[in-house]
Amino acid sequence: MAATDSPVTPPDTAPPPPPSSPASDAAADPTPLSAAHLLMAVVLAWLVPGLGHVYLKRAARGLVFFVLIVLAIAIGCNLSGNLYRPVSGQPLTYLATYGSMGIGVGYFALRYGLHYEGQQEAAGFEYGTAFLLTAGLMNLLLVLDALDIASGKKE
C-alpha cells in the first residue's frame, strides 16, 4: 500500500474538542465572588482548615489540607508541644500566639476546651511546639490561598 492510499484528514477539518462538563467548568471558574461570599470563604478557611476550599468547590484540595493540618496538630500534641499564649513582658509570644491561633477553632478547643498545655520537660517539647506553630501558620497560608481563589486571582 502506498503512502498516498491512506486517508488524510485536512488540518482545517479536525474534530472539535469534546465539550466540558458543567461541573468541571464550575470548579475551574476564575470569576471573582461577591464580597459576602469572599468573606465567608476566608472565615470558613480560618475556622476549620480546608473548609474554605470545600466552600469554593475544591473539595479534594480542602480534604488534603484538613488532613495535613490535623496531622500536624496531632503530632504536636503527642510530643507535648507548647500551644502559645501571650506572656506579658515577652512581645514575641504575641506573634507566636497569633501564629498558633491560625489553627482556627482547634486552637480554642485545645486551649479552653481541653485545657491543653505542653510539658516543657517532655523529650519532644521543642519539636511538638514547632509542629503546632507550623499548623497554625500553614492554615493562615491556606486562608490566603482561599482568598486568592475566591477573588478570581487563582484557579
Residue 139's Cβ-count burial label (10 Å; 0-12, 13-18, 19+) is: buried
- The average confidence (pLDDT) of the chain is 82
Written as nine digits, the cell of 31 is 470569576
Give the range among 27-31, 33-37, 126-130 with minimum mean pLDDT: 27-31
Residue 4's Cβ-count burial label (10 Å; 0-12, 13-18, 19+) is: exposed
Distance in angstroms (rounded) separating the CA atoms of residues 45 and 138: 11
pLDDT-derived band at 121 (thresholds 50, 70, 90) equals: confident
Helix (H) or strand (E) holding 95: helix 92-101
pLDDT-derived band at 3 (thresholds 50, 70, 90) equals: low
Q: For position 4, what pLDDT does the model report?
A: 59
Ordered by start, the domain boundaries in the chain are: 32-150
Q: For position 75, what pLDDT does the model report?
A: 93
Residues in Cβ contact with 111 at an 8 Å cutoff, skipping those fewer than 6 apart: 83, 85
Average pLDDT over every residue of 141-148: 91
pLDDT-derived band at 83 (thresholds 50, 70, 90) equals: confident
Nearest CA to 153 among 10, 29, 22? Answer: 29
Considering only residues 149 and 30, tell me which one the structure prediction assigns the higher pLDDT: 149
